[in-house]
Structure formats: structure tokens, C-alpha cells
């Protein structure tokens, strides 16, 4: 399948998510005959495992431990879903399973497997919608929209981002609102709709300013102030405001919530590119050296892309302090 065909297929599958919900799915499964009685403790176990696997992936990249997450889903969680439970436990179980599936989709995408990631995001959306969990459903739509932007299928991305943001309006969670509004802003910026992107950026900032710094218990509550600052910075860069972009990226590096190696490395790579575009080549070289040091041991396609993008720009950079060290650093890291 060539790129054009893949994009078309991706668009069709992505938009199909909007027609997936089955609100009666949990009810049909309640107290059916099954070999395993499932209770609240089992749901807690699924969420604990998801958190543990997610922490490892955030630190070391999606290339680590995805096979463990898939095995846990297809063996342990599958037994729970096939078991018998009350309606409340069933809805909690579907929600917990949605979180795990969404994490696996993120891991697959971080490995560079876009098709597999999309399938997991669709499954996560179905589980969330069946559980009646608007936040989880919106987060799955957010993943599909973000992926569509990266694949270059912008009309689909805008449609999915709008659906994500509209579903998120039903929530009171400030971090979730910021999360979904920034997604819609990114899609609008990719669609060259600067007015809508700017409006959504302002709305996202208003939401995050009213959000607690500490991570909450819900899925979208892990959207930190640091992640907001990073995403906002890159949207500003897309809109052509490089000064605002650099300000937000520096803020992302300085505030709570950006202490994972993988995440911090990606921000450093992005900051270097913004600095280069602003004509601050020496600063960019220093930042990129910091990126390479931070990225050591991380398995992520975004880290690989970061190395490749830096290497492609080095040929035109000469007589700058640290550039030779950077070239050697790139070569030693396999870039």
C-alpha cells in the first residue's frame, strides 16, 4: 500500500470511530454465565498494571514493554471481560480496559506502527463509549486526531478533533478540557485556520491555569502543565510565532510534569529547531547536545526522527561552538 492509499484508509477508519458506540454492550454482558467472577479488586489490578506499564513507557519509550502490555490484555484482562460481573463492575472494567488498550495504542505509535496504533485507539474508543465514559472516549478520539495530523490527513484530523473537543465539553475536569482544546488547536493550525487555532489555544490556557499541578486519578488528569506548555509551543511554532513557541518550550522544561526522559528529550529536540529558526544557532547546537544525552536508552520513533532531523541540518552549520561535538555525538548514537 502506498502512502496515498494508506492515508485514505486511515481517514476512513478514523472517522468510523464516530459510529462505533454501543451503549447496551455492558448491560448485555451483566451476570451472564462465565467461569470467573470479577469484582472491584480485579478492576483495581488492571489500573495498577496500566499505570506501571505507562510509567515505564513514558520514561523509556513505547519500544519497551509493549509486548508485556499486550500479553496482559490478551490473557488476564480478556479473562475478566469474559467473566461475570455486576453492571457497575462491568462499566468500571470496560473503562479500565479502555485505558490499557489506549496505552498499547500509544506504545505502538511510539514504535512507528501507525496502523496497529489506530486499531487499538478504535478499540479503546469502543470500550470507553460502551462504559459511558466521556473522558476516555474523548481521549481515544484525541489519539486518532493526533495521528491523522502526523499522517497529513488534515480534514479527517479536524473532524476527529472537533468530535473530541465537543465530547470533552461535557466534563468539568480542567486538565481534560485543556488537553482536548489543544488537540483541536493543533488540527486547526495544521489546516491553516489561524483564527480558530488561536481561540482554542487561549481556551486551553484558561483551562490549564485553573487545573491543579498534581496528577489526578482520571486518565486525562495526567495531562500535565509541562505537556500543555510543550504542545502549545509547537502550535505557536506552526502559526509562525517563534518567540511564543520558545517561551512555552522553555516553560515546559522548567515546570513540574516533564521529568520523564523520553518527554524531556522530545522537548529539547523541538526547542533546538525553534532556536535554529530564530537564528540562534549556537543555542540550538547546545540544546541538541542536551537532547542526545537525555535520549540515551530511549526506544521511540520520535527520538529517532529527532536525531535524523538534527543530522540533516548539520551540513549547513559550520564554525559554531559545539557543532563538531554534536556531529560526533550523533554518529555515536547511531544517527
Q: Tens of pLDDT along 11-27? A: 445 555 555 555 566 66
Dihedral through CA 171, CA 176, CA 182, CA 183, nearest 10? -90
Residue 255 confidence (pLDDT) = 79
Confidence of residue 287 (pLDDT cuts 50, 70, 90): very high
Domain locations in the chain as residue ranges: 24-131, 152-259, 260-335
Q: Are 196 and 188 in contact (CB under 8 A)?
A: yes
Greater model confidence, 37 or 240? 240
Greater model confidence, 195 or 167? 195
| Grid cell digits, residue 69 | 502490555
Summarised one tens digit per residue, pLDDT across range 65-95 is 889 999 999 999 999 988 888 989 999 999 9
Q: In terms of pTM, does the model score above 0.75?
A: yes
Residue 3 confidence (pLDDT) = 45
Residue 256 confidence (pLDDT) = 61
32 CB contacts (<8 Å, ≥6 apart)?
Answer: 84
Summarised one tens digit per residue, pLDDT across range 292-310 is 999 998 889 999 999 999 9
Greater model confidence, 334 or 99? 99
Residue 34 confidence (pLDDT) = 66
Mean pLDDT confidence for 54-65: 85
* Ramachandran bin of 214, using left for φ above 0, alpha for ψ from -120 to 50, beta for the remaining angles: beta
Residue 142 confidence (pLDDT) = 94
Mean pLDDT confidence for 13-42: 68
Angle at 194 between CA 171 and CA 187, to 5 degrees: 50
Amino acid at each position: 500500500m502506498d502512502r496515498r492509499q494508506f492515508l485514505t484508509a486511515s481517514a476512513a477508519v478514523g472517522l468510523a470511530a464516530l459510529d462505533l458506540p454501543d451503549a447496551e454492550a455492558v448491560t448485555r454482558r451483566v451476570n451472564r454465565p462465565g467461569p470467573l467472577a470479577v469484582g472491584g479488586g480485579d478492576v483495581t489490578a488492571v489500573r495498577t498494571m496500566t499505570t506501571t506499564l505507562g510509567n515505564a513507557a513514558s520514561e523509556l519509550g513505547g519500544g519497551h514493554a509493549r509486548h508485556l502490555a499486550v500479553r496482559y490484555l490478551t490473557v488476564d484482562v480478556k479473562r475478566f471481560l469474559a467473566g461475570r460481573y455486576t453492571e457497575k463492575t462491568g462499566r468500571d472494567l470496560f473503562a479500565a480496559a479502555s485505558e490499557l488498550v489506549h496505552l498499547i495504542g500509544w506504545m505502538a505509535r511510539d514504535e512507528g506502527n501507525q496502523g496497529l496504533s489506530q486499531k487499538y485507539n478504535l478499540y479503546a474508543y469502543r470500550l470507553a463509549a460502551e462504559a459511558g465514559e466521556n473522558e476516555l472516549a474523548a481521549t481515544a478520539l484525541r489519539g486518532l486526531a493526533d495521528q491523522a495530523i502526523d499522517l497529513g490527513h488534515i480534514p479527517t484530523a479536524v473532524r476527529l478533533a472537533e468530535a473530541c473537543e465537543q465530547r470533552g465539553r461535557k466534563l468539568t475536569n480542567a486538565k481534560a478540557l485543556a488537553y482536548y482544546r489543544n488537540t483541536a488547536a493543533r488540527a486547526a493550525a495544521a489546516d491553516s485556520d489561524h483564527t480558530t487555532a488561536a481561540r482554542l489555544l487561549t481556551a486551553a490556557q484558561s483551562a490549564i491555569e485553573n487545573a491543579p499541578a498534581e496528577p489526578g486519578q482520571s486518565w486525562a488528569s495526567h495531562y500535565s502543565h509541562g505537556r500543555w506548555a510543550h504542545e502549545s509551543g509547537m502550535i505557536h511554532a506552526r502559526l509562525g510565532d517563534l518567540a511564543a513557541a520558545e517561551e512555552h518550550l522553555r516553560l515546559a522544561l522548567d515546570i513540574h510534569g516533564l521529568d520523564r526522559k523520553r518527554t524531556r528529550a522530545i522537548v529539547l529536540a523541538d526547542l533546538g529547531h525553534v532556536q535554529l529558526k530564530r537564528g540562534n544557532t549556537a543555542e540550538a547546537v547546545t540544546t541538541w547536545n542536551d537532547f542526545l544525552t537525555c535520549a540515551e536508552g530511549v526506544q521511540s520513533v520520535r527520538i529517532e526522527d529527532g536525531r535524523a532531523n538534527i543530522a540533516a541540518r548539520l551540513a549547513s552549520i559550520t564554525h559554531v561552538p559545539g557543532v563538531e561535538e554534536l556531529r560526533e555525538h550523533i554518529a555515536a548514537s547511531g544517527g
